[in-house]
Structure formats: structure tokens, C-alpha cells
Amino acid sequence: MGAKRPARREFLRTGAALAGGFTLGTAAPALGQAQTQSPMIKGEREGEIAYGARSKYVTSARIPHGGRPSPDTFGLTFHVASPLQDSVGVITPSSLHYFATTRGAFLPDIDPKTHTLMIHGLVDRPLTFTIDDLKRLPSVTRLHFIECAGNRASRRAKTVQETHGMTSNAEWTGVLLSTLLKECGLKSSATWFVAEGAEEVKGASSMPIAKAMDDCIVAYGMNGEAVRPQNGFPLRLMVPGFEGILHTKWLRRIKLVDRYYMNYNDFGHLDQDDKVAALAYQIGPKSVITFPSGDQRLPGKGFYEISGLAWSGGGAIKQVEVSIDGGKKWNKAEFRGTPQRMAHCRFAYPWNWDGNETEILSRCVDEIGQVQPTREQIAKYWNKPYDQTFSVPGLDNSIQPWKIAGDGSVTNGLA
């Protein structure tokens, strides 16, 4: 039978010695790096143990958005934009998720032990649910983006945070609204529902019942913890793919009705133009390059990975293309991960920059065949002149270009 096999104990002893040798530094440092002892952090920063804190060297931050400071002179918070230029992956940290209020408001301080959700109107059994009631029911966990209607390419913006920072993507956990409506016994005459929040303005929105029975979520969880106050603690209605104002925060009441109700949030979001009305709910396919993007700088010619985000209210993103020559030629980008329905997906394209001035941009296609348009196509659709005053009455999902100068500086291609 050949040589005697070494005993298991001897093998483990030898392995431990080898491991110890590596620990003691018998192996050469990788890539010629000198070995240094990592400095220990002495003492703990406030909150380090109880909740945790990011490194002091990470400075990514949200900024006020929409031409109004947050908080304003009355202490009210309006809009704050997420730093997409610093994003990696697809999940927006809860602390960096974009935030918008209804005309500016104070955050309600809600005790989850006393908060309830009432469902009434055209149902057989009007019911009131506590948070504990909801957590006893079957749950779902899904990735979904939220986007403000004002999120769009703009000549005035310098960075991607200023153009597209009013969208974020998170993992949401809660109960399907359809589960609750079935529990209440939905009447066949119900064609719309009204969702109302608990903030002082009493923001409410009307939505079709078909959406309620499809994929709406009454969410109590966000990114593995309770929904944060700015995002609707203790309950938020998630309406995947629909305009952000319809994702009712601090949810307290849902009424089933047989007609469209004009509510506070709905005012200003309606138009007699059929084109506007048709685009009033669902977010069109959109993509944007986050690196390199406005106010960033490439240190020199050579290899870079162009990276960005794509999303659509029409479902999952099926394809993203990147142009490195101002739109003359389009190249298929790669996905980093599997695109989810109504969620941000990360795309990337390998690029060897030759150091010459150029323009980069991206476009996407979703699973129902919708294609992200150019600014010129948007102008033609609305029959509006494409000039310095160009704006559209509906949602704007047009392509955002970035100019790369010979010195590597990046600026808005629309400016």
C-alpha cells in the first residue's frame, strides 16, 4: 500500500505551525509592501457601539435640492438629494436616501405602539391594523426605487447629484397591500383607492385599484431595519414604478372608492392634455452615468470603468448602452448583478481613454420595450423648441451627457 499516511493529528499540528508562520511574518509582503502594524483606534466615537458609524474618511453627503434650503428659516425640510456620484452597487444607504416632503413639513414624531392603519370605504369589513398586526401577516422583501417627478437632466446642474439625486433604491420589507384588501373584503365597485399620511399637511394621493392589487407594499422595514422617520416611519406605502409623491409616507389611512378623488398631492399633478395624463404615474426608463460625471476629474489617460445606474417603472432593465463619442456609436454595457423589476441596476463599460476631449452618455431599454429618449426626441414629442428655455410638462427621462475635457475634468454636456 505504499508509504504510511500521516496521522490526522500530525497533519493538523503541521498546518497550525504553517499558519503560525504566516502570522509571524515568514511570508514575504505582497507586492513588496513593507509590513506595518495597523494603528488601533483608541476610544470609541459617539454611537460606535450602540448603532455604528461610518469612517471619518468617508464624507459622502446629501444636499438641498430644488432651489430651496433645507431646513428653511421656519425649520421646515423640503428636498434633499442623494449623492449618486459616490454610490456603489445598487442599494442606497438609508442615511443617504433622498428625501422630499409635501410642500415642506416638520417630520411627525410617531410612536409605533399607538400608530394604526385604517382601511375602509368600499370593503366588507373595515379594519384597523396595528404595527404588530401587520408584522404577524405574511411579508415580502423587495428592491425598489423611488424617484421624484422633478428628477431630470438639466443645463443648470453641475453634478449628477443635482441632476438625478432625487432617486434612491432600497430593500423594502412589509405586507402586500393586496393581502390587507383581501382581508377586508374588497367590493367589486372599488376602482380607486386613496392613501393618506399622518403629516401636518395630510398628504394623500389617488391611485387605481389595479395597482393596489398588483405589487403595492405597506412597508415597515427598509434596508434591514425599521423605516427611518424621513422615509415614513413607522409605515410607508411603496408603489413600485410610480412617481415618488404617490409613495405615501407615515401611512395611516386607505380608503377604497369608486372614482378619482382630488387630494392635496394630486393637485398640480393633473392636466387636461392626454399626453400629460398618460405619463402622470409611471416612471419611464432612465439611466445616468455616475462615474465619470460632473465635477469629477480623470487623473490621466488610460483604463477606466464607466459606471452608472438604470431604472424603469415599466419593469426590469433589459439593456444599457454607452457611447464614448457623443452618441455616434453605441456600445453594449454589462450589468453588475441581475436587474430587478422597478429597481436600480448597476451597469458598467470598460473604457480606455486616449486623453482626447469627448462626450459620454448612456441609454437603456426596459422589459416592455420602452427606450430612453434623447432631449431632441423629448422636444419633438411635446412639440416644443429645443432651446435654452427647454422644459417639458411631464416626466423627463431624457439622456444626460457628460463632457470630458483634455485635462480630465468632467462637466455637464447640456451646459
pLDDT tens-digit profile of 22-50? Answer: 434 444 444 445 555 555 555 566 668 88
d(C-alpha 230, C-alpha 107), whole Å: 7
Run of H or E including 382: helix 375-382
pLDDT tens-digit profile of 285-297? Answer: 999 999 999 999 9
Q: Which residue among 242, 270, 298 closes a domain? A: 270
Q: Are strands 116-121 and 251-257 parallel, antiparallel or unpaired?
A: parallel
pLDDT at 9: 46
pLDDT tens-digit profile of 294-339? Answer: 999 999 999 999 999 999 999 999 999 999 999 999 999 999 999 9
Q: Tell me what the mean pLDDT of segment 59-82 comes to.
A: 86
CATH of residue 397's domain is: 2.60.40.650
d(C-alpha 298, C-alpha 408), whole Å: 4
Comparing 19-28, 44-53, 256-265, the range with the smallest average pLDDT is: 19-28
pLDDT at 101: 82
Pair 336, 266 in one domain: no
SS (H, E, C) 191-258: CEEEEEECCCCCCEEEEEHHHHCCCCEEEEEECCEECCHHHCCCCEEECCCECHHHCCECEEEEEEEC
Q: Which of 94, 49, 53 is nearest to 229 (CA)?
A: 94
232 vs 261: which has the higher pLDDT: 232
CATH of residue 142's domain is: 3.90.420.10
Q: Is residue 367 part of a domain?
A: yes
Pair 151, 222 in one domain: yes
Range 116-148 burial, b when 16+ CB lie within 10 A, else e: ebebebbbeeebebebeebeeeebeebbbbbbb
Q: Is residue 394 part of a domain?
A: yes
Q: Tell me what the mean pLDDT of segment 149-157 comes to.
A: 91
pLDDT tens-digit profile of 375-401? Answer: 899 888 888 877 767 777 778 999 999
Query: How many structural domains are present in the chain?
Result: 2
Pair 218, 315 in one domain: no
